[in-house]
Structure 1
Amino acid sequence: MSFLDKMDDVLKDKWQFDSETPIQAQMIPEMLSGKDVVAESPTGTGKTLAYVLPILQRVDGKKQQTQALIMAPSQELSMQIVNVIREWVEGTDITVTQLIGGANMQRQIEKLKKKPTIVVGTPGRLVELVKAKRLKLHDIRYIVLDEGDQLLAREYRVIVKNLIDGAHEDRQVVVVSATITDEIERVAQQMMDNPIRLKVSLEDMPSSGKVVHSFVKTEARDKTDLLRGLSHLPAIRALAFMNNVDQLRMKEMKLQYNNAPIAVLYSSMTKFERQQTLEDFRKGEIRILIATDLAARGLDIQGLTHVIHVDVPHTTEQYVHRSGRTGRAGEDGEVLTLLSYHEERTYKKLAKPFKPVQKVWFKGKLTEGNSKTVSGQKDSNKKDAKKSQPKKK
């Protein structure tokens, strides 16, 4: 960990890890040297610290000016980044402020008057504050786009570019994400100065837990009953994904039938509703939390036993993003797909590299069924799969 030699004593003392993760080993020295970086590394591999530590080393907390901007696509991710920074800046002069939509803007303006060293925010609120001339960009020398694949998608691309262009001309720009497509990389390079490209895969992670990829065949109409059954399994703690928020809301009442320990999370919920739902999940009162990809962006939930694909994702990137939320920090996990027959072709293509195994739901238990993997020959017939479904209540 040679990069620690270049850190202040306060940061060295706070480092309590036995070793750095691969993305930290690659990214921290490059950022300390001042290079622009495009970094790709799976969810849960230490990307936040990989960019936070170099920023903390390079900013000057004694200066009364905002020097670093970290952008994130969701309120939850922004809050998590702020919490990490607060833990590391304790005992220093460095200050941090959160600038997110859904929170009191006047209160944020008051905090900006104190010239926080670092600001962390969502694009919409950042633009509002810049237009109101409350957030001054010209002194900002360090910019990070966390979940950069979403921030550089068409929805945010122009907004993000304008924010970067308004910063100090001698700025450092860093883009990090679990997946970065060729298109996103091209867009990023247009906003950066000869960036270095870093990439870490799950195979590069020395302490990743064992993650089993599995699927249960079911009729599409039976997925709700199956989810309710899974929610009563002992010790399950699952984040489940659906593709469509309208379908999610339609299923909400059915999912909670008979007090099943299930809740849904969607982006239009109020900040209080989302926080309450997440708190109930963390306390174990909810065992399965169902969300869309957008609503789950930035959620960092420790100790997930399962990721459940209620709907098969549309892309490999989606599958990897979702699946990477279990099997973190050396823990084992399972990625379970509820596979209806019309989804089989898409699933075979997405999941083939992970060699998924077939399981069956029978008498309230999830057990290995047909031993053939989905990449091989035909599975057991539809009649046998349908028999394994939970009875409707």
Structure 2
Amino acid sequence: MSFLEKMDDVFKNKWKFEHETPIQSQMIPELLNGKDIVAESPTGTGKTLAYVLPMLQQVDGDKMKTQALIMAPSQELAMQIVNVIRGWVEGTSISVTQLIGGANMQRQIERLKKKPTIVVGTPGRLVELVKARRLKMSDIRYIVLDEGDQLLSREYRVIVKDLIEAANTDRQVAVVSATITDEIEIVAKKLMNDPVRLKVSLEDMPLSGKVIHSFVKTEARDKTDLLRGLSHLPDIRALAFMNNVDQLRMKELKLQYNEAPIAVLYSSMKKFERQETLERFRKGEIRILIATDLAARGLDIQGLTHVIHVDVPHTIEQYLHRSGRTGRAGEDGEVLTLLSYPEERSYRKLAKDFKPVQKVWYKGNLAEGNSKTVSGQKPVTKKPNKKQ
């Protein structure tokens, strides 16, 4: 019997959930059987519901205790997960609340007094509430690390380990992400009980859209002007990435001065500023949203036409995470890299399997340029003038 056949009618009938994605069909039965999971599946392939649906089957909303915890590396992702859960539990006794930094802690404490069934939080705020003895970890039997590669990185690893070990000894743990490195898998296994390893690739997805990978040659100092030009294309709706938050802030000032339909998103922004920026982007008032990896982790923004790498990512995992924001749910998309001359070698290594096409910015439009790709060979380009 499949999960869909066993799913409570209150969920199935309300949402007309009829088709499982590959990661859902693999992950849901294992979670319902009590297994710990390390799951890898591309962005936009249904990972959230893959752990939310079995969690809703396992918790009991009539019990006055917090039974499940979902950890996320960013406020936006945590809020997004909460909104998904709220939609599914409407009309049931199951409750959910968010515990994130940047929000009023006293209000969160008041919500915890009501013993929500599920809590979704960021590591820093969760630790604060545990230390203040407001979040009782010993009652928690189900734990999910969403964007687990980020949560088990060196930045959060000790915090997350302490939270997991403080939970109920008979706990179930799931780690999900678009990319799971060997190092992260080793760390995850130390915190889990004989976990099942699951992996889905884009080729396994029946609704994968066509995604073009492309690049535009430019001087580093001209990237801001190029972004400004791209923002005025009539059909563009892009999420752009930079590697350095300080450079992001500098670009913000330049773009504000020229009143381009572009905004920035970074983790140190105030909560209401981030929410306002995302809402303006979703409404189409902003054409290009520039962010760091942490700020954009797990954001589900529908209808993105482009992902723009303002800076070439440091690793293939970064490239995949960023690029996976477009071409979702069967839609086509484009991954465009603004490529300065010093970045060519790194880009060739990252993008060789995607056979990117070269484009040029000409008279306010993107057009295909050199037909040669950078797959295994250096493009024929004019050397920059060292005197410039």
Same fold? TM cut 0.5: yes
Q: How far off its partner does 1:232 sit? A: 0.6
User: For the Cα contact (< 8 Å) 2:265–2:295, is it kept in 1?
Assistant: yes
Amino acid at match of 2:172: Q
Query: Hey, what's the Cα distance between the residues in 2 that align with 1:141 and 1:252?
Result: 43
Query: Hey, what's the Cα distance between the residues in 2 that align with 1:17 and 1:31?
Result: 18
Amino acid at match of 2:278: L
The match for 1:260 is 260
Query: Hey, what's the Cα distance between the residues in 2 that align with 1:240 and 1:15?
Result: 33
Amino acid at match of 1:362: Y
The match for 2:217 is 217
CA deviation map 1:194-213 (0-9, x unaligned): 00000011111110110000
Amino acid at match of 1:75: Q
Identity %: 85
CA deviation map 1:274-305 (0-9, x unaligned): 11111111111110111111121232111100
Q: Does 1:6 align with 2:9?
A: no
User: For the Cα contact (< 8 Å) 1:360–1:367, is it kept in 2?
Assistant: yes
CA deviation map 1:332-384 (0-9, x unaligned): 0000000111111100000011110001110001011111111154434327x
Q: How far off its partner does 1:15 sit? A: 4.0
The match for 2:305 is 305
Amino acid at match of 1:137: M
Matched position secondary structure for 1:110: helix
Query: Hey, what's the Cα distance between the residues in 2 that align with 1:8 and 1:219?
Result: 57
Amino acid at match of 2:337: T
After TM superposition, the structure 1 = structure 2 runs for residues 1-393 of structure 1, keeping only pairs within 5 Å, are 2-382=2-382
| Cα distance, 1:148–1:377 mapped onto 2, change above 3 Å | closer
Matched position secondary structure for 1:370: coil
The match for 1:391 is none
CA deviation map 1:210-261 (0-9, x unaligned): 0000000111111111111111111100000111111111121222343211
Q: How far off its partner does 1:16 sit? A: 2.4
User: For the Cα contact (< 8 Å) 1:69–1:120, is it kept in 2?
Assistant: yes
Matched position secondary structure for 1:360: strand
User: For the Cα contact (< 8 Å) 2:352–2:376, is it kept in 1?
Assistant: no
Query: Hey, what's the Cα distance between the residues in 2 that align with 1:346 and 1:286?
Result: 30
Matched position secondary structure for 1:372: coil
User: For the Cα contact (< 8 Å) 1:227–1:255, is it kept in 2?
Assistant: no
Count matched residues: 385
Amino acid at match of 1:244: N
Query: Hey, what's the Cα distance between the residues in 1 that align with 2:222 and 2:4?
Result: 53
What is the CA RMSD across the aligned residues, in angstroms?
A: 1.4
User: For the Cα contact (< 8 Å) 2:77–2:297, is it kept in 1?
Assistant: yes
CA deviation map 1:87-137 (0-9, x unaligned): 000111101111111111111111111111111111111111111111111
| Cα distance, 1:378–1:98 mapped onto 2, change above 3 Å | closer
- TM-score, normalization by structure 1: 0.95
Matched position secondary structure for 2:80: helix
Query: Hey, what's the Cα distance between the residues in 2 that align with 1:196 and 1:230?
Result: 44
Extract unaligned runs of 5+ from structure 2.
none
Query: Hey, what's the Cα distance between the residues in 1 that align with 2:93 and 2:265?
Result: 37
Q: How far off its partner does 1:12 sit? A: 1.9
Amino acid at match of 1:170: D
User: For the Cα contact (< 8 Å) 1:143–1:174, is it kept in 2?
Assistant: yes
Matched position secondary structure for 1:327: coil
Query: Hey, what's the Cα distance between the residues in 2 that align with 1:76 and 1:236?
Result: 23
User: For the Cα contact (< 8 Å) 2:74–2:267, is it kept in 1?
Assistant: no
Query: Hey, what's the Cα distance between the residues in 2 that align with 1:41 and 1:323?
Result: 14
Query: Hey, what's the Cα distance between the residues in 1 that align with 2:137 and 2:378?
Result: 58
Query: Hey, what's the Cα distance between the residues in 2 that align with 1:342 and 1:320?
Result: 21
Matched position secondary structure for 2:263: strand
Which segment drifts farther, 317-326 or 369-378? 369-378
Query: Hey, what's the Cα distance between the residues in 1 that align with 2:378 and 2:182?
Result: 34
Q: How far off its partner does 1:6 sit? A: 2.0
Amino acid at match of 1:221: R
Query: Hey, what's the Cα distance between the residues in 1 that align with 2:377 and 2:296?
Result: 34
Amino acid at match of 1:129: L
Matched position secondary structure for 1:215: strand
Query: Hey, what's the Cα distance between the residues in 2 that align with 1:320 and 1:296?
Result: 13
Extract unaligned runs of 5+ from structure 1.
387-393
Matched position secondary structure for 1:313: coil
Matched position secondary structure for 2:138: coil
